[in-house]
Amino acid sequence: MDARIGTNMQVVNGALRSVRPSLSTSSTTSPTTAAPTYSIHDDKNFALDKRRRNLFEKAFEVLIQFGYFLRENEEIIGGGNSTGGYVDSLHLQMLTKLSQRLSQLYVCCKDAELSPKIVENKREHQDFVDLISLIMKMAHGGTTSKYLTQSQRECLDILKVMSLHGSSRAFEILATFGSSVILSQNQDDIGKILIPL
């Protein structure tokens, strides 16, 4: 007679016998393997959240430093008295690109790092709104322009989305900006927007 050996077989007193897996063995291995998987998953999420937060803080610090640079050079970039209120096209293009990227940044971070509903984000949220406000102020088309520049339209769109997501600061800036807008009412130009600077 041929003896066949399979899984769950054991030699007992010289004979092969079928052995059922021990419940104690499976019960000791299951919880130990299941518990670390759960905690490791949590640890990974926590580590990813922490890394994302650290990356955001470093990038945001650079962005705020760039905002300081804009403020220090506001008269030069924004076309102060020396240029007769005209914004150089290169500066206007740079401000347009910046406002477009800020729009993408806000879409990415509106529910986390830039959410006004999270208490620890209040300072960053306000700094972000102030930077958008500064860009909108600087990126005008000149003292005689009756139209919004592309950068200003982009900034208004960001502020609108921020207002819809609960930002009272963005809403306040929209209201202030809206109150300073004058509608030109003459025969040739009905309803065109003029922004006093």
pTM score over 0.75: no
Give the pLDDT confidence of 4-15 residue by residue, as tens digits. 555 666 666 666
Residue 154: which H helix or E strand, with range? helix 150-164
pLDDT at 195 over 60: no
> For residue 169, what are its two tokens?
């600061």
In this predicted structure, what is the pLDDT of residue 46? 77
Name which of 10, 108, 135, 14 is nearest 52 in CA terms.
108
Give the pLDDT confidence of 117-169 residue by residue, as tens digits. 887 778 888 899 999 999 988 888 776 677 888 999 999 999 999 999 988 99
Name which of 25, 9, 6 is nearest 17 in CA terms.
9
At 39, give phi and psi (nearest 5°): -70, -35
Mean pLDDT confidence for 98-121 = 87
Its sign, for the CA torsion 63, 69, 72, 73, is negative
